[in-house]
Structure 1
Amino acid sequence: MASPAFDPRALDRRLDALARQPFRARFHLRGRELATARLKGPATLRWHAYDLIARRLAPARPYKDGRQTPYRGHPVFVAQHATATCCRGCLERRHGIPRGRELTRTEHVYVVDVICRWIERETAGHGIPGPDPCRAEGDHEIS
């Protein structure tokens, strides 16, 4: 399951495995979502991801679980489907985070790390600056 430290290699291995699933492999940042990622940058997208996960995925019984994440409209939504962080069922099956209880803070940060790492990989070579300067570690954790 989730480790408290941001480990890009571990996340890359998990993302590589997810990308081998035909459904997950369909998702990429294009058009408006890619433009939004460029415009907002990694720090803002991390805050958006943290907030969206807090409202839509972290509760023990999210509203409309399994249908709460749109397929398009924001880079975080696309990333959620690509990374199997779109609903509590996918979180349980693909990341080992059980449903029926609220996400812990560590799990919440882990989900945000997975999403942000996927966005970082998607935007590599598209003029987006390097790693996320606001990733959760040390005294820079999102609370």
Structure 2
Amino acid sequence: MEKIRNHAEDFVSQRLAPANLPNDGKQTPMRGHPVFIAQHATATCCRGCLQKWHKIRSGRELTPRQQEYIVDVIMQWIDKEMKRVSM
């Protein structure tokens, strides 16, 4: 889980944190990594979804606190899914 969290932190900082994203809405693949799946499931996949569902305004760089919140949401979803699948 620590490695997945590190990946989530990297993805969020590189693909979501900048103020202006030229490919916003298309930067997160639908498959290929558990974090990508979790991002779509939790509406943390693009700045548009972050604004609509999490009230995090687009057009501004994400603060470290906002990035931590997003990673926490992603990791909580992954943890719940892992527990659900292992039952």
- TM-score tier, shorter chain, comes to over 0.9
| Equivalent residue in structure 2 for 1:111, among 59, 70, 77 | 70
Match of 1:140 in 2: none
Give the 3-state SS of the residue equivalent to 2:32 in structure 1.
Answer: coil
Listed as ranges, the matches of 1:72-111 within 5 Å are 72-111=31-70
Give the 3-state SS of the residue equivalent to 2:22 in structure 1.
Answer: coil
Code of the residue aligned with 1:73 in structure 2: it is G
Listed as ranges, the matches of 1:58-69 within 5 Å are 58-69=17-28
Q: Deviations over 1:1-46 (max 9, x none)?
A: xxxxxxxxxxxxxxxxxxxxxxxxxxxxxxxxxxxxxxxxx11110
For residues 68 and 125 of structure 1, the distance between their equivalents in structure 2, rounded to whole angstroms, comes to 28
| Structure 1: unaligned runs, 5 residues or longer | 1-41, 128-143
1:71 equivalent to 2:30? Answer yes
More helix by share: 2
* Contact 1:66–1:86 (8 Å) recurs in 2: yes
Moved over 2 A (4+): none
Match of 1:9 in 2: none
For residues 27 and 84 of structure 2, the distance between their equivalents in structure 1, rounded to whole angstroms, comes to 31
Provide the aligned C-alpha RMSD in A: 1.0
| Structure 2: unaligned runs, 5 residues or longer | none
Give the number of equivalent residue pairs.
Answer: 86
Code of the residue aligned with 1:107 in structure 2: it is Q
